[in-house]
Structure 1
């Protein structure tokens, strides 16, 4: 009886897996990243759209016929926006109202052009430069209050 000799072969390393298509885990990671990017883009788009809407509200209120009406419209919009931050803020009067509008950012209302909100609605004529300066300060504060920032 003849013994059969077995031919042994060397160990073969399998071929490296191809780079494409990726493994299912990489598809999952890519999906999560794309979903996160889409959610962030939608959030940013909505935020920008809301900001533009608030800016249009304020600008439309400034289209009044007289300067006294413009000051009254600014004050009304600021009071409405203040309720978003503090429900009792729209009931403040005089210096307390101006201090609230100042917040902790400075004195643009209590000592600056924003003082026009106190008596500007009762004046017959308001200087155009003074009205413009007050409108810029009021617009910035209006947008902050609408965004919910004190």
Structure 2
């Protein structure tokens, strides 16, 4: 006589080890994350080198008026990367070019106005020069990294 048995359910697949598609997805995500990390590290290193270049050029100048003139020269060189005729601008047109895209307008309405005549003054306020240095450094790094 034939003995009948109950129907048994198939056991579900184990969660480990994952299917080959999950391994491929994990590898692709790892490669992408490594690529993004390397890109960001390279960008930060480049920004540090550009900032160091700016700081060394300004530190080489002694008088505040000479520092202002050096900042202006560096900004004009960086401006050529955005527009080849930008270094020919002067006065308020130059300050407006420096402010392009910045709603705060720090060059036309703030301490950046010191760039117009600060390099020709016999004495410049060190506080204004320091705040101009921050503005000019940020703009220089921004333009040189794009």
TM-score in same-fold range (> 0.5): yes
What is the Cα deviation at residue 109 of structure 1? 1.5
Higher relative contact order (CA 8 A, sep 6+): 2
**Structure 1 counterpart of 2:62:** 65
Aligned-CA RMSD value: 1.8
- For residues 82 and 47 of structure 1, the distance between their equivalents in structure 2, rounded to whole angstroms, comes to 20
Q: Which has the larger radius of gyration?
A: 1
Contact 2:46 2:145 in 1 (8 A): no
Picking from 72, 75, 78, the partner of 1:75 is: 72
Matched, 1:140 2:138: yes
- Unpaired runs of 5+ residues, structure 2, are none
**1:124 alignment partner, SS class:** coil
Q: Give the length in aligned residue pairs.
A: 144
Shift of 1:107: 2.9
Q: Which runs of 5+ in 1 are unaligned?
A: none
Structure 1 counterpart of 2:23, from 27, 48, 68 = 27
Partner of 1:91: 88
Supply the distance in 2 between the matched residues of 1:111 and 1:29 (Cα, whole angstroms). Answer: 52
What is the DSSP-based 3-state SS (H/G/I as helix, E as strand, rest coil) of the residue aligned with 1:84?
coil
Deviation at 1:46? Answer: 1.4
How far residue 30 of structure 1 moved from its aligned partner, in angstroms, is 0.6
- Give the TM-score normalised by structure 1: 0.84
TM-score (ref. length: structure 2): 0.86
